[in-house]
Structure 1
Amino acid sequence: MKQSNAAEKLTADQNQLAKHAIQVHKFGGSSLASAQCIVRVVDIIRQHCQLNDIVVVSANGGTTDALFALYHQAILQTETLEISLHDIKSMQAQLISELLSSSNEKRLLTQLDADCAQLKKWLENSPQQHQADILAFGELWSARLLSEVLSEKVCPSFMVDSRDFLVIDNDKACQVNTQVSKTQLYQLKQRHKLAVITGYIAKNSQNETCTLGRNGSDYSATIMASLVGALNVTLWTDVDGIYSADPRVVPSARKLHRLPNGVAKELGRLGNPVLHAKTLQPLTDHSTHLHVASSFDPSISGTEIGKFGQIAKQELSVTFLNDLLLAQSDSFTGNLGEQAQQEFSAVCGDDKAGFIVIHQEQQKAVSQWLASHDTEVKFTPASILATVGHKVIHHGDVQARFKRSLRHSKTFARVNSPNEHSIMAVLTQACTTELLNNVHHDMTKDARHIGLVVAGLGNIGERFLEMLPAQLSRVPALENVHLVGLVSSKKALFNNDGIEVNQALSLYQKDAQPIDKSELMSWLANHPYDELVVVDVTPSEQFSLLYEDFFKQGIHVIGANKWAASSSTDNYKSLLASAAKSKSLWFGNTTVGAGLPINYAINDLLNSGDNITEISGIFSGTLSWIFETYDGTLPFSKLMLDALSQGITEPDPREDLSGRDVQRKLLILARAAGFELSLADIKCQNLVPDALQTLSIPDFLAAADQLDSFFSEQLNQAKEQQCCIRYIARFSVSESGKLTAKVGLEVLSNNDAFANLTPCDNIFQIKSGWYQENPLIIRGPGAGRDVTASGIHSDLVNICQRLNTRQSQVKLKGID
């Protein structure tokens, strides 16, 4: 929202707003740690929230820790209590002063004074009785401040103390009284205002303050989502998503863009540093999707958790828990073993082998439980290392890989989780960083997912798609490539769970929807893949203008489209700079020569240290056919019309005869060779007389015999010299550095390398420091749906080989 019209937009008619599904946005402590952070949060809310959404907040960063320290000082009756209380108050007062206008500042400071007076009273007289009330102040202050800032700068807002509606049974289980909580929440809602609600705190059935445990604000957010039936919950935090391992410990961890609900819940149970065990519980019976995103860089696509198809179900991650206990007893076998696992929510267990794995603080409770069964128990320090994925215990290849990855470690047992989403190794020593990294490498080294979008579904695009199923099944580099988008000039089909490649074109015809540029870029900017490759098989200059946006989003491009690579010098330089900055790859081998490896050859020469001095040849398959076939037996116009009827020329043959296509191709190759020039620097002979250039296509074809005398004269003059005529492109650089470039009709010896081609062939001749007397020549079909489509596939394999070895930089501010 623009600030000037924010209030107007957010205070629109309630019936209109009700059409939008409610969203819940939760901001963690690090996201609210300073005035600068809060300003960033306000901007996120401005862009992403509607009035009927809910904002849930943690305490400002560091506040809860400070309140805990204050509580312990009160218990110990230390002399620094007064100083610590003053520091907390000063920190809050500074945030208020930095963010609010003078009138609201004065009011909130007065409320802060009252709160601190109450806080001091509890700390001095009854800290243990009021522990939860003391800790609750962090969320109370955070919500009050954010609500006031929003009311000043964005839209009408109100603060809600979650203790006024959220009822749980007790601090330990934190089970929600759903009906009471839902009724009371709806009674507190205010029309035309955005609700800012405290996380982490609630009340029990005795009306006493309770806390939901560390990271309880995430749990609060999902509870509120379940109460209001929210479509989405976004956890705005200090990392940009969920990773395949803890990125603080495993530098090669990759972001998991989408996670099935069950897998995410298992990750939270087994120690993921962002997800927490209780967070997903309230969403079990809802279709709500959970997002994890970074408030420090909201433009980066985060992780989405929900119900997904097969691609998301292929994701694997590795997690660990140290400081556990392995408890072995006869009572942990059979039915009693199952009962013990449920009673203590064991990390894992085996009722045949007679053991469970528990957290250290559960040792006393387990001992007491076993005492009632009069059996002995052996406790051993332990840890677990787990591979987590959708129904992973049913994948024999994953089981085998996990076993191999642990071959050098002392493993007590391997256990499959009852929910089927994890395979756990029980270790009788701590899980080391080295072991974690080694296992993560073995389990996820081939897991990068690459999304493929094909733009242009004409002759070449169709052939590319026809060839795709066989390529995906036989080329290892394409193992994790998924066709996810099909785009034409007016319609598109996108499917995050993949488009069935064998039915791609029929699915497009059936399901494609109208799309404009902004909708296309919105989808591409939020794709759920490690990498995205756009294959541009369009002839569209308009589509090529999107390359800059693609590169800014880190999207890779394979272009058979010549427009971008032959655009103005300034635009071409800008595209190269944008691609380099975002590490986007841009391949275009089929822009010249269809599937012939001319671009690869030039690149290889440059990489090997050679200097290219000349590029020449016949670059047009159409003009190759025409001049190899034209011998004077038929008038030139009849030959041209024959080529048109066979589909050899463009629908308007003047596109070929103008030489502009050859001119662009020469420019592309010269730039690929490292030279800076533009189309204007390349002289171009147009073979169409001025009088015919502006006619309509039918009128031009009707007057085509006006071409005959010119070409007959050119051919006869060449024959008199025992030569032939060909349309040649030439680029050269002199020893002094002078560039010369032209395309046009030339008279060649019948023995020339360019004189005797199979009709439609292209030929490229390169002279360089190493290929001077005996030039490098590449010759072959320069057009055709098969060779062009295969050239695009070659680019796809090349680009995927590079991407599969690329390590993404983990953007990590820290984990709460």
Structure 2
Amino acid sequence: MTIENLIKHANTHTGKLAINVHKFGGSSLANSECIERVIDIICRHCQINDIVVVSANGGVTDQLFNLCQLAKDEVDYTEALNNLHFQLKGLIAELLNEQNSSYLTKQLSDDFLQLSDWLANDYKQQRNNILAFGEVWSARLLSAVLNERICPSHALDSRDFIQIASEQEPQVNYDYSRDQFNQLKQTHQLTIATGYIARDVNGQSCTLGRNGSDYSATIMAALTGAANVTLWTDVDGIYSADPRVVPAARKLHRLPNGVARELGRLGNPVLHVNTLKPLEEHATHLHVASSFDSEISGTEIGKFGFLAKQELSVTYSNDVLLVSSEHLSALSKPEAFTRFSPICFDEKQALMVIKQEQQKAVSQWFASKVGDVTFKPVAIIAVVGHKVAERGDVKARFKRALENTRTLDVVSSTSEHSIISVLPDSCSPELTNVVHHEMTKDAKHIGVVVAGLGNIGERFLSLLPNQIKRQSVLENVHLVGLLSSKKALINTDGISPKQALLQFEKQAKDYDETLLLTWLKNHPYDELIVVDITPSETFSLLYREFFQQGIHVIGANKWAASSSTEYYNGLTALAEQNGSVWLGNTTVGAGLPINFAINDLRRSGDEVKAISGIFSGTLSWLFEQYDGSVPFSELLTNALSQGLTEPDPREDLSGRDVQRKLLILARLAGFTLSLEDIECQSLVPEQLVSLSTQDFLKQSHLLDELFENQLLQAKSEGKCLRYIAKFEINEDGYQANVGLAFLDTDDAFARLNPCDNIFKIESQWYQDNPLIIRGPGAGRDVTAGGIHSDLVAICEQLSTKQHQVKIKGLNE
């Protein structure tokens, strides 16, 4: 939905839309290309009554700091001032038409006259006003571009409505601030507010510290009761460790509020300690996403269930001090928290760990109250997760990870959501990687959605609990979705496999493709696997959407794998492009490892020359049983009653199923062909093709003479009757066909158990003595087992898969 549509919605409906806050950091607004991306994000993600909070354009605040420093040092700043002015004028000219550019450039020139005067005469008193220019310019420019191209908008200087106690104590006066904002906000216009800046109770300009725009965004959410805050930045989420240091770091798709606050307290480079404070009394969810790749799902912070609470992350800091004093006991634990918010505080050992920037305040307090204090540079490394301080297993693993590392005798925290070890030396990248590996090596969570809840789907689910216990690679597999043709049960905290069908019966709701794809696109798992046990061609058409989202597919469904050459090649290319794994062992041969064998031969360097066999369990049973003693139609009715055929037996007799299976195997062997390239002999007489299923069964006796004649001819040659599929390379390229064949009675294809499939592979390595795979080609147990084989295989592949971390600058 575009902004224009939302304007119409807002003007013609009385219902109030939920407010969302979108904050864009400096790197997201660094140049005209970045701002164009921001405009696109606003068009696709914003509503007209949303709030957009902006930082200064990338690098501008640093330049303003530098100008203040040059003025302080009495160094000529003329060139630096002119360069900044030139840079900003160029940005305006790139983004606006001539008329609007002229207007905004005039405002900018007036600001630079004021800036020049302050730097020359009053830079100390006006320092915060000087620094505030960056956000004012950024908001003004973005609002002008939106007004020119997209929708009505207005820029607000947050100093005109956000009031805090002081710069040192930035608590917000929410009642006053909310009242002021409501007076300034314009209806049916998108609000562009400055981040980073506010005023204190005396009316003086204040800054909210580095990365203060994030704090501004959550303040805005608290003022407006916003449903969501999105921090659009240069990273695509919060990771289990700093991905610049730990390449194996995993994105944490969902973080409980308490865990996020603890990460911020310990110095996470994306989450800051003040950012989450305004949301503590609200149900607002915080999102971290990348403006450089807005289609990638980021991290959501809020109230979640079991799975999110199992996530662990590792963080460290080399910028901390160990405070020691024999008088430290005079500082009670509550008082320590109130005054200094220490990282660690151990009353028994008279030790406290603080951030380096707190040294002056701590030193002054001790000097005025109790006496001497010493400071020693140290480092910390911490494991953070929901109530990890209460989890003995996490503590044990953490200590084991540090057993070869010199540590101080402090492994504690002031929070239930972290366990901290204090190190006498800097925390090295090597140690961080070791600890991260030990703490998170089994933590990749894989969601599984099962589509198709018939006999095989039920059996797959019944096997799942024991499979998870037996196979360590499935330890973090979670059943999260069940789909029938019309109803769906999706539970992000997992569905018990043992109770799955009962839960589905009670809780499943109607769904359509749009709802399904919306959920799958925003799934909160490291990986997602869709297990397609449907016979539906319509559902197979969703594979393209799945692969575009990097979702993996286990397909017992033959439609996609036997689709047109162009479509099939497009699917395989799309899967490869997006890192999706597509397995379909059970499309041919139920649980028999025929797909695996062909893939393994090709991967090993062999070349398949021919594939042949009996691929239909139904036709295998019919021709193993058919000896002429009973009419073929009677045998067919018997097979139908046992559930050995499709509900309409013509699906089996037509040969189309066998034709599709041969196509799938030939493609796996590396050949490019379509269904039309395979000759198919149908066993359904023309006069029975167009009848209803009921009428066909009534007239199935018309099959008897046809099959009796074929059987008599085969016997006259001392042979037996079988339905064979065959693909082979010849001088003209290849030949492929499925149909009736007369075989010698000692042929490998002639001596099968009823319902068996048999596959013969001839290759460069298997010429004189072909590779033969034989066994049951149908049945709920073997088919469900084959799907589980694919699940294990896919999870083994995913266990070593590394996602590219999206960080501006790191990936360029």
TM-score range, shorter chain: over 0.9
Q: State the match for 2:455 in structure 1.
A: 459
Q: State the match for 1:756 in structure 2.
A: 751
Matched, 1:139 2:135: yes
Q: State the match for 1:41 in structure 2.
A: 38
Q: State the match for 1:434 in structure 2.
A: 430
5+ long unaligned stretches in structure 1? none
Q: State the match for 1:25 in structure 2.
A: 22
Q: How many residues are paired up? A: 810
Structure 1 Cα separation of the partners of residues 192 and 371 of structure 2:
53
Q: State the match for 2:773 in structure 1.
A: 778
The aligned amino acid for 1:51 is I
Q: State the match for 1:502 in structure 2.
A: 498
Q: Alignment partner for residue 717 of structure 2, among 708, 714, 721?
A: 721
Q: State the match for 1:808 in structure 2.
A: 803
1:485 to partner: Cα distance: 1.5
Q: Alignment partner for residue 740 of structure 2, among 736, 739, 745?
A: 745
The aligned amino acid for 2:615 is F
> 1:534-549 alignment to 2 at 5 Å?
534-549=530-545
Q: State the match for 1:66 in structure 2.
A: 63
Moved more, 50-59 or 363-372: 363-372
1:367 to partner: Cα distance: 2.6
1:200 to partner: Cα distance: 0.3
Q: Alignment partner for residue 193 of structure 2, among 190, 197, 213?
A: 197
1:614 to partner: Cα distance: 1.6
Structure 1 Cα separation of the partners of residues 715 and 9 of structure 2:
81
| 8 Å contact from structure 1 (residues 332, 338) kept in 2 | no
Give CA deviations for 1:207-237 in whole Å, capped at 9, x if unaligned. Answer: 1101000000000000110111111000000
Q: State the match for 2:559 in structure 1.
A: 563
Structure 2 Cα separation of the partners of residues 301 and 223 of structure 1:
24
Structure 2 Cα separation of the partners of residues 86 and 257 of structure 1:
44
1:333 to partner: Cα distance: 3.4
The aligned amino acid for 1:32 is L
The aligned amino acid for 2:421 is A
> 1:152-167 alignment to 2 at 5 Å?
152-167=148-163
Provide closer, same or farther for how the CA distance between residues 7 and 732 of structure 1 changes in structure 2, counting only shifts above 3 A. Answer: closer
Q: State the match for 1:705 in structure 2.
A: 701
TM normalised by structure 1 equals: 0.97
CA RMSD of aligned residues (A): 1.5
1:531 to partner: Cα distance: 1.1
Structure 2 Cα separation of the partners of residues 251 and 312 of structure 1:
22
Structure 1 Cα separation of the partners of residues 809 and 382 of structure 2:
23
Structure 2 Cα separation of the partners of residues 494 and 187 of structure 1:
43
1:334 to partner: Cα distance: 7.6
| 8 Å contact from structure 2 (residues 343, 414) kept in 1 | no
The aligned amino acid for 1:674 is G
Structure 2 Cα separation of the partners of residues 633 and 419 of structure 1:
81
> 1:628-639 alignment to 2 at 5 Å?
628-639=624-635
| 8 Å contact from structure 2 (residues 6, 48) kept in 1 | no
Structure 2 Cα separation of the partners of residues 49 and 571 of structure 1:
35
**SS of match in other structure, 1:318:** strand
| 8 Å contact from structure 1 (residues 166, 176) kept in 2 | yes
The aligned amino acid for 2:427 is C
Give CA deviations for 1:639-661 in whole Å, capped at 9, x if unaligned. Answer: 10111111111111000000000
Matched, 1:733 2:729: yes
1:371 to partner: Cα distance: 3.1
Structure 2 Cα separation of the partners of residues 801 and 7 of structure 1:
47
Give CA deviations for 1:485-524 in whole Å, capped at 9, x if unaligned. Answer: 2222222222222222222222222222222222222221
The aligned amino acid for 2:69 is H
Structure 2 Cα separation of the partners of residues 814 and 383 of structure 1:
27
1:394 to partner: Cα distance: 1.7
1:89 to partner: Cα distance: 1.5
Moved more, 59-68 or 361-370: 361-370
Q: Alignment partner for residue 308 of structure 1, among 301, 304, 317?
A: 304
| 8 Å contact from structure 1 (residues 349, 415) kept in 2 | no
| 8 Å contact from structure 1 (residues 52, 194) kept in 2 | yes
5+ long unaligned stretches in structure 2? none
1:737 to partner: Cα distance: 6.2
**SS of match in other structure, 1:754:** helix
Moved more, 270-279 or 606-615: 606-615
The aligned amino acid for 2:783 is T
Provide closer, same or farther for how the CA distance between residues 768 and 17 of structure 1 changes in structure 2, counting only shifts above 3 A. Answer: farther
TM normalised by structure 2 equals: 0.98
1:90 to partner: Cα distance: 1.4
1:338 to partner: Cα distance: 4.6
Q: Alignment partner for residue 791 of structure 1, among 786, 789, 807?
A: 786
1:550 to partner: Cα distance: 1.4
Q: Alignment partner for residue 761 of structure 2, among 761, 766, 769?
A: 766
| 8 Å contact from structure 2 (residues 330, 370) kept in 1 | no
The aligned amino acid for 2:623 is F
Structure 1 Cα separation of the partners of residues 782 and 421 of structure 2:
51
Give CA deviations for 1:741-779 in whole Å, capped at 9, x if unaligned. Answer: 111111112211111211111111112222222221111
Moved more, 766-775 or 211-220: 766-775
1:18 to partner: Cα distance: 4.4
Q: State the match for 2:281 in structure 1.
A: 285
> 1:84-103 alignment to 2 at 5 Å?
84-103=80-99
1:28 to partner: Cα distance: 0.3
Give CA deviations for 1:235-279 in whole Å, capped at 9, x if unaligned. Answer: 000111111111122222111111111111111111211111111
Moved more, 25-34 or 522-531: 522-531
Structure 2 Cα separation of the partners of residues 374 and 709 of structure 1:
110
> 1:164-563 alignment to 2 at 5 Å?
164-333=160-329, 336-563=332-559
1:419 to partner: Cα distance: 2.5
Structure 1 Cα separation of the partners of residues 407 and 590 of structure 2:
56
Give CA deviations for 1:44-66 in whole Å, capped at 9, x if unaligned. Answer: 10111111110000000001000
The aligned amino acid for 1:387 is V
Provide closer, same or farther for how the CA distance between residues 14 and 228 of structure 1 changes in structure 2, counting only shifts above 3 A. Answer: farther
Q: State the match for 1:9 in structure 2.
A: 6
| 8 Å contact from structure 1 (residues 203, 210) kept in 2 | yes
The aligned amino acid for 2:778 is A
Structure 1 Cα separation of the partners of residues 438 and 57 of structure 2:
40
Give CA deviations for 1:112-134 in whole Å, capped at 9, x if unaligned. Answer: 11111111111111111111111
| 8 Å contact from structure 2 (residues 234, 292) kept in 1 | yes
Structure 2 Cα separation of the partners of residues 191 and 254 of structure 1:
42
The aligned amino acid for 2:175 is Q
Give CA deviations for 1:511-569 in whole Å, capped at 9, x if unaligned. Answer: 22222222222221221111111111111111111212211211111100101111111
1:192 to partner: Cα distance: 0.8
Structure 1 Cα separation of the partners of residues 343 and 200 of structure 2:
28
1:688 to partner: Cα distance: 0.6
**SS of match in other structure, 1:243:** coil
**SS of match in other structure, 1:798:** helix
**SS of match in other structure, 2:481:** strand
> 1:111-122 alignment to 2 at 5 Å?
111-122=107-118
Provide closer, same or farther for how the CA distance between residues 332 and 445 of structure 1 changes in structure 2, counting only shifts above 3 A. Answer: same
Structure 2 Cα separation of the partners of residues 335 and 93 of structure 1:
54
1:154 to partner: Cα distance: 1.0
Provide closer, same or farther for how the CA distance between residues 195 and 17 of structure 1 changes in structure 2, counting only shifts above 3 A. Answer: farther
Provide closer, same or farther for how the CA distance between residues 737 and 423 of structure 1 changes in structure 2, counting only shifts above 3 A. Answer: farther
1:335 to partner: Cα distance: 6.3
1:341 to partner: Cα distance: 4.2
Structure 2 Cα separation of the partners of residues 18 and 67 of structure 1:
44
